[in-house]
Structure 1
Amino acid sequence: MSDEPVLTYVLVDGENIDATLGTSILGRRPQPDERPRWDRLLAFARETWEQDVRGLFFLNATTTMPMSFIQALNALGFTPVPLSGDSDVKVVDVAIQRTLRAIKERDADVMLVSHDGDFLEELEALLDDDDRRVGLMAFREFRNSGFTALEDDGLESFDLEYDVKAFTSPLPRIRVIPIEQFDPSQFL
């Protein structure tokens, strides 16, 4: 790696996060105030790894271009990546896979925001570089089980709610609590 400052790319699979939140946690479509505060992801990455970040937010815009959301992402510091393709192509997944492969050729770190196992191969390849930090932001209990094996290779995992603090109010999640974090007052 060079002596230039390292950059962290934050790659967001927004549809995956929204679907997991709606289907697996809330059991309904999330209200706007129940969605992640996307700017907190960038702040977390910047503070955690103490370096500049560049956020890329991947969107499937095959049928519609969500201009108000794109403008909001721009205002938060993200670069929106609106994509289109045939209905049988997972355009967001393909674009993130290509981006992860392109990052392998750069002196950069990456934090992926997704639960999707479609990215395991690309993340594993990034972990082959001992000088590169690779992270995953997700709801721990809903991420693909393949990510657990990558932790032995150096993948850093961050929970969107508990570590990143991406939400303004607690989500109705049931989680395994490490005994050193157990606070009985939360249950009394």
Structure 2
Amino acid sequence: MDDNTQPTSYLLVDGENIDATLGTSILGRRPEPQERPRWDRLLAFTREKWGGSPRGLFFLNASSGMPMSFVQALRAIGYVPVPLSGPPDEKIVDIAIQRTLQSLAERDGDVMLVSHDGDFLEDLEPLLGTERRVGVIAFAEFRNHGFTPLIEQGLEPFDLEYDVHAFTSMLPRLRVIPIEEFDPTGFL
């Protein structure tokens, strides 16, 4: 790929992490299809926030088989699916995202990570303090606390529900509301 066609931003999605957090920590059960994020909204958010043409990479554990209908849906909305396989005792999606972050340190382009996982902190930090923009999309209250010092170094935090509007209905979340965002109508 030459410099004229290189995307201006990379959107790296750890879908399993988002799905697990949504199911375990917010819903208390496996999410129904209509309760999952609208993945196209993450691409649109990245494009609106940072401009350019984001290259969405959606990392999947395909060790037990390729989820073809989901892969086709991802392709249709503009993602590049990254199906992976490996031993059950290895976090293959995490390993692939870590390697991708390491590779991006040698390329131009902004980086938006979609995950709560602290396993990426070490590889995300070297991307900060450069010309590039670096962001993390997650449910703010479940984002690994190790991201806080990176926010102080320039990492841009975004909430999957409140900033990205990735869901079609409100989730049953309890969060601390900054007073400037407080709208009493949601409680009445």
TM-score with structure 1 setting the length: 0.96
Q: CA deviation at 1:99?
A: 0.3
Structure 2 counterpart of 1:85? 86
Q: List, as ranges, runs of 4+ consecutive aligned residues in structure 1 with deviation greater than 2 Å.
A: 2-6
Q: Deviations over 1:42-77 (max 9, x none)?
A: 000000011210000000001111000000000010
Q: CA deviation at 1:128?
A: 3.6
2:47 alignment partner, SS class: helix
Unmatched runs of 5 consecutive residues or more in structure 1: none
1:95 alignment partner, SS class: helix
Q: CA deviation at 1:4?
A: 8.1
CA RMSD across the alignment: 1.4
Residues 90 and 153 of structure 1, relative CA distance in 2, 3 Å threshold: same
Instruction: Map 1:12-91 onto structure 2 (within 5 A).
Output: 12-91=13-92
Q: Name the % identity.
A: 71
1:174 alignment partner, SS class: coil
Instruction: Map 1:1-188 onto structure 2 (within 5 A).
Output: 7-129=8-130, 131-188=131-188
Q: CA deviation at 1:115?
A: 0.2
1:172 alignment partner, SS class: coil
Provide the C-alpha distance between the structure 2 equivalents of 1:49 and 1:161, rounded to a whole number of angstroms. Answer: 18
2:58 alignment partner, SS class: strand
1:10 alignment partner, SS class: strand
Unmatched runs of 5 consecutive residues or more in structure 2: none
TM-score with structure 2 setting the length: 0.96
How many correspondences in the alignment?
Answer: 186
